[in-house]
Structure 1
Amino acid sequence: MQELLLVPSRILDRLRQDRLLLILVLLCLGLSLLHPDQVSSYPQRVDWPTIAALAGLLLLTTGLEECGFLQRSAFELVTRMHSERQLALFLVLASALLACVLTNDIALFIVVPLTLGLRGMARLPTSRLVIFEALAVNAGSVLTPLGNPQNLFLWHRSGVAFHTFVAAMLPLALILIAVLLLFTIWAFAPVRIETHEDVEAPSLNRRLLGTSLLLYPAFVVLLDLHRPLWALALVAGVFLVAARRVLRQVDWALIAIFVLMFIDLRLVAELEPVRHLVEAIGLDYPLRLFASGVLVSQLISNVPAAILLAEHSGNWRVVAWAVDVGGFGFLVGSLANLIALRLLGDRSAWWRFHLYSLPFLAVSALLAGLYLFG
């Protein structure tokens, strides 16, 4: 009974700590008061296949974190890398690769704690590394449907095969990775890494690591067969039996954030002023659709932008290119940016992030636009 009474206070504490979640809850309450007749339709407004896929990915990456794989990887990195530039290039490429097969948000839950673990082993520009990891996961995630939540949503909505989606996004991925590598070489000097003394190798739970790695291919196959609920059930069921603590450590508030995004943004898209604005912009023209996706992402983040634009356009490829590019620029452009800097815990980095991300957006948007419409 006492545990049940503590639940509301825990929810309130989480809302106070997570401003984005609080904003989405308040927006949902406001829209509910404005249109109470729509409340019964809320479950139908959520893209549950996308939510199931995201929850499964969260479980898998939490398994990797709990087994000590991240801590062991940090140790191996700091003992093998010889310069800051070499380390930075490795981390951004690893971040981009992870984001291809997980999601950009979830990849950060792997690489940022790994990077923060390096602080106890060597003197490094940790804040700058995390900023570039945020850029990297956004760049790498564009390639696959599993790379980021907006791709996952647009893939399910388009109904195309996995390889068809990858082929459509490959040129953008190559553009962004090329720009990322040039920015990384420019931002990090070939300075030798100075390690601290008495650094010991962390322990590794090989059983949990093996379980997490074996589950991943089965999970991807089920997603490609458009069985996300079965995929989630498989992963959750195995962890429930083999490693129940993984279920307890998952950031379930992140799932709540995406559920609320679907409800809030689809309600906003139906508002009369929004409809008139969309009609005035003329999203039937691909160039306007692309520009709108980039700009709207700067205001409300690229996942809500994808949900909003998909309500008014069936051109999923242009929408995907636009909102993926729109993840750069201002901090709010991608939830991954907010996650990275929140994990870092350095308030000054929130301003320094824009010194790299805004030029990255300008270059990437120009090159992507030239490829699509040049």
Structure 2
Amino acid sequence: MPTADDVRVNPASLPRRIVSYAFKEPVLAILVVVLAVLQGTRPQPWLVLPRLVDWPTVLTLAGLLMLTKAIELSGLLMWLAHRVVHHVRTERALAGLLIGLAAVLSMFVTNDVALFVVVPLVLSLHALTPLPVKRLTIFLALAVNAGSILTPLGNPQNLFLWQVGGVSFGHFVWALAPLTAVLMAMLYLLTFLAFKGKSLDLSKDAAKEHVDRAYAGVAAVLFAAFVLLADSHHPGIGLVGVAGGFLLWRRDAVLKIDWALLLIFVLMFIVLRSVAALPWVHDTVARLGLQSPLRAYVAGAVLSQGISNVPAAIMLAEFTKDWRALAYGVSVGGFGVAIGSLANLIAVRLSKTRGIWLPFHLVSIPFWFVAVALGGWLLTHP
């Protein structure tokens, strides 16, 4: 009779494991399949493929993943979240506070990390008093998509466009501030209408999380230093310092990051740039005239609905040098259908709420239409 160890190493179980992992990481699986098809139909030397990767962006993303993981593991974010909501009195006030918290966090620790803090917070508060978890989850997804637009650290597409544009951190923030302000104003107006002034009692909630102050403090200092190095176009030096320091002191900040996300990003560059180089694709997109800021904006907003805003940014950057127009387009593209932004999928997954997809799209698709119109107006009336 086979032992448990025999089962674990049994080659016959390998296909099942591969299929299971593919369902767990569908984006990664699709990229691998597309790369295999491309190499089968229009093969390129394997040693050439790494040249298609924008390594400064990948290095910057790796450093930010380590630093945000360290801040998360220190317990600081969850402690802060509980402290912030401690004196809330109404459902509407709680919704507004959580949306603001999610938006601000997403500006500095990425939209994904913000969701990993705020959605579990909603679930823990729901154990104290009944909350509209489904509705809150939808609005939190919108909040991190809107808030993360402001800074290069907010989401992967911003990080990429910041590196490609070659502009300073402050210049990027200044350029994206009008769109962020308009979308957040829209979101708060919608929040006022969607949530009631119903009384809540969260006074029994107490932050029980332990905060490792040394861990949080070192991570905060390194975070500032890393951003300065990335801003001066030296992310490699910053990454060596961050990774080396944490491996010697707190290696969990390195070992527990989302390595699949890094691999997905590398493959996105290889696959999408290879696809963009295909003659028929290149000719088709070139005929769209993306040198026009408004056309580049619309292309980013629309293409994101089909392939998500990160790959849309990478692909369209091959056809336009107007990083601001493209940033506006793919930022607005995070709304609409759920696949427009991976943050949408993460929010729904964390909430563990059934029947959320229809309500999500009933809110997000109209929001996208209005956002596209307002974003286009802002872009053409600086």
Whether the TM-score (by the shorter chain) exceeds 0.5 is: yes
Q: Does 1:342 align with 2:344?
A: no
Name the residue aligned to 1:303: 310
Alignment size in residue pairs = 372
Aligned-residue offset at 1:77: 4.3
Name the residue aligned to 2:368: 361
Q: Distance in 1 between matches of 2:102 and 2:312?
A: 24
SS in 2 for 1:122: coil
Name the residue aligned to 1:143: 150
Preserved contact between residue 84 and residue 189 of structure 1 (Cα < 8 Å): yes
Aligned-residue offset at 1:222: 1.2
CA RMSD of aligned residues (A): 2.5
Q: Distance in 2 between matches of 1:6 and 1:327?
A: 42
Q: Distance in 1 between matches of 2:128 and 2:242?
A: 34
Q: Does 1:274 align with 2:316?
A: no
Deviations 1:290-324 (A, max 9, x none): 21111111111111111111101111111111111
Match of 1:50 among 39, 51, 57: 57
Q: Does 1:24 align with 2:25?
A: no
Preserved contact between residue 85 and residue 97 of structure 2 (Cα < 8 Å): no
Name the residue aligned to 1:91: 98
Letter in 2 for 1:316: W
- Counterparts of residues 247-286 of structure 1 (less than 5 Å): 247-286=254-293
Aligned-residue offset at 1:372: 2.2
Name the residue aligned to 2:127: 120
Preserved contact between residue 144 and residue 165 of structure 1 (Cα < 8 Å): yes
Pair 56,118 (structure 1): closer, same or farther in 2 beyond 3 Å: farther
Q: Distance in 2 between matches of 1:286 and 1:214?
A: 38
Pair 253,192 (structure 1): closer, same or farther in 2 beyond 3 Å: same
Aligned-residue offset at 1:121: 3.4
- Counterparts of residues 1-374 of structure 1 (less than 5 Å): 13-195=20-202, 201-373=208-380
SS in 1 for 2:46: helix
Preserved contact between residue 60 and residue 236 of structure 2 (Cα < 8 Å): yes
Letter in 2 for 1:109: F
Preserved contact between residue 73 and residue 114 of structure 1 (Cα < 8 Å): no
Letter in 2 for 1:367: L
Gaps of 5+ in 2: none
Letter in 2 for 1:30: V
SS in 2 for 1:37: coil
SS in 2 for 1:281: coil
Aligned-residue offset at 1:283: 1.5
Aligned-residue offset at 1:184: 1.5
Aligned-residue offset at 1:193: 2.0
Letter in 2 for 1:340: A
Letter in 1 for 2:368: L
Preserved contact between residue 59 and residue 250 of structure 1 (Cα < 8 Å): yes
Q: Distance in 2 between matches of 1:54 and 1:176?
A: 25
| Stretch deviating more after TM superposition (71-80 or 163-172) | 71-80
SS in 2 for 1:36: coil
Gaps of 5+ in 1: none
SS in 1 for 2:86: helix
Letter in 1 for 2:369: A
Q: Distance in 1 between matches of 2:169 and 2:123?
A: 34
Q: Distance in 2 between matches of 1:253 and 1:299?
A: 21
Q: Distance in 1 between matches of 2:227 and 2:319?
A: 30
| Stretch deviating more after TM superposition (193-202 or 32-41) | 193-202
Aligned-residue offset at 1:139: 0.8
Aligned-residue offset at 1:281: 1.8
Q: Distance in 1 between matches of 2:67 and 2:217?
A: 11
